[in-house]
Amino acid sequence: MKDRDRIVYRDGDGNWRDKRLGAERPAGTYDTQRKAEDAARQHLRNVGGGELITKGRDGLIRSKDTIAPGNDPFPPKDREH
């Protein structure tokens, strides 16, 4: 399932990118983090689910979310979403 996982991060120009883990190029570039996250969620729904990783402005992981029908390894502990 790792090949389906996506990451949202900020590039050096201040734009937000939606990229599949392991891909060379991002799937899209957006002016807001929200738009990039929404696009990544939609991509994950289209391919059957996976993990969405969001990095903050500082480059550190801010959030992880399993998009259905993905398999959340720790469902009792995931109280963020």
- Cα distances from 20 to residues 29, 43, 57, 72, 78, in angstroms, run 13, 9, 19, 18, 22
Judged against a pLDDT cut of 60, whether residue 78 lies above it is answered with no
- Tally of CB atoms within 10 A around 6: 25
Q: Does any domain span residue 76?
A: no
Partners of 10 in the β-ladder:
16
Q: Which domain holds residue 32?
A: 2-67
pLDDT tens track for 35-67: 999 999 999 999 988 999 999 999 999 999 988
Q: Does any domain span residue 32?
A: yes
Tell me the backbone φ, ψ of residue 30, rounded to 5 degrees: -135, 155
Q: How many domains does the chain have?
A: 1
Answer whether 0.85 is exceeded by the pTM: no
Using DSSP, state whether 77 is helix, strand or coil: coil
Q: Does any domain span residue 75?
A: no
